[in-house]
Amino acid sequence: MTDTIRRADYYYTKVKDSPGEAYRLLSHLKEKGVNLTVFSAFPAEGGMAQVDFVPEDPVEFEKVCRVAGVALSAKKQCFIIGGADRPGAVADILKRLGDAKVNGTALDAVCAGSGRYGAILWVKPEAMAAAAKALGV
């Protein structure tokens, strides 16, 4: 099985870095039937947390967040990667970027079970075209 790599739209918001804030956001999305491909959260400056979303349906996601008063970033792009789990799967992806002189901003990868892995890769907006070319997207 070869890896699949695709561009995806993502958004972020910042919330107070306190217990229950991520749950509050996710439970609202759940109530409205919004499915996410990726969710990631991490500490940010000033007692805040940055929460990243890759929605399955960006238009519906934006609508639900707007009605709920969730302040989203502008739509940005990232890469979603998936394939057969194997030693060096992520190293192979990073080699392609390195050979093309493209620096990644961040990458999260996980074993998805059943012999599969998944990853999300962020690069700076000005590097998207070069990264897409290096990754064959």
pLDDT < 70: residue spans in the chain: 1
- 126 burial (CB, 10 Å; 0-12 / 13-18 / 19+) is exposed
Question: According to the model, what pLDDT value does residue 1 have?
Answer: 63
Residue 64 has a pLDDT of: 97
pLDDT by residue (tens digit) across 66-106?
999 999 999 999 999 999 999 999 999 999 999 999 999 99
Exposed / middle / buried, residue 19 (Cβ in 10 Å: 0-12, 13-18, 19+): exposed
Residue 63 has a pLDDT of 97
Residue 2 confidence (pLDDT) = 83
Quote the CA–CA distance of 102 and 111 in Å, as a whole number: 25
